[in-house]
Amino acid sequence: MIILVILCALTLHQYREEIKGIDYYSFFIQKPNITYEFINEKDGGNLKFEPQISSFSGLAVGTEHLDITLAFKQQEEHEVKESQALDLQFSGLWKSYYWDLYYQNYQGLYLKDEESELILQERRSNAYSYGLGFKYFFNENYNPKKSLASHKKFNERKTAWSWLAGAFYNKNQLISHNQSFIPRSAQDDFSRINGLKSFTSDNYGIEYGIAGMYLWGNFHFSGLLSASNMLQYHEYSGIDEHRETRSSTGNYGFIDFGYSTQNKTFGINGLTQNISSEITSTQLNQSRTIGQFYYKYFF
């Protein structure tokens, strides 16, 4: 599949002079992930569910307001049966606004024993999540298209920073393949949620933070960091509590580092979003991450 992606990139490069309306194309290798971690600080319990997935190679094409990505999964060996994943990410920039939309469907999240580092194959779960959000940058001199995402030629970028504010909605669902998420060996640490079979959370939030880019010679470093407050509506099955509404917090981070020439950029970036929830006396941390190596050519 990686050969097919390279051939597509070479075809775009060959006909770059005839192509209109495209700002850049990018070849990349990335690794998405999603994790759910139960933490009982009172009793010291810790259970983490995460998938076993391969990396992806792909081709992205950027226009003025929209980025379109085509990615293929690599063939890699895993300790257990590989999880099935559908991970769709969409984002765009318009003036001082950034928006993103995502959908994730992971079939087969495994529980990992923290002491032995062994993956417990019999403890599996499925996770579904989707969300949308937008961010507004207050500094008129800060252009997120040029700075945050490095979607413009190097000579069009400049060192700048801005405060930001935004809003988002996302929905997360975790479903156990077993009678409960909690294995027998951990039932003493998680006595309040021993029978928990599924968890669904609707999150409505606002966020605030800072973003910026720094240029040094042909190198660039850009990033975004924000905190959020949200209202959560929870639904459970398998325990006495079935529904509840809570307030909670989260955070979002993005970093990008690279080297550029006039029409080319080589770099690495990463994104993380974390949401904290509480089920009776137990904390549940949900996170999604993406790491990426990339090459961009600008028209």
Burial 145-177, CB ≥16 within 10 A → b, else e? bbbbbbbbbbeebeebbbebebebebebbbbbe
> Which domains occur in the chain, in start order?
36-53+79-291 (2.40.128)
Is this structure's pTM higher than 0.85? no
- The three-class DSSP label of residue 10 is helix
What is the C-alpha to C-alpha distance for residues 216 and 259, in angstroms, rounded to an integer? 10
What tens-digit pLDDT sequence spans the chain (299 residues)? 455 545 555 555 554 555 555 677 788 888 888 888 888 766 667 888 888 877 888 888 777 666 777 777 766 666 667 778 777 777 777 778 888 888 888 888 888 766 555 566 566 788 988 999 999 999 988 877 666 655 566 667 788 899 999 999 999 999 988 778 888 877 788 888 888 889 999 999 999 999 998 888 889 899 999 999 999 999 988 887 678 888 999 999 999 999 988 788 899 999 998 998 888 778 889 898 989 998 888 87
Q: 79: part of which helix (H) or strand (E)? A: none
DSSP-derived secondary structure letter, 6? H
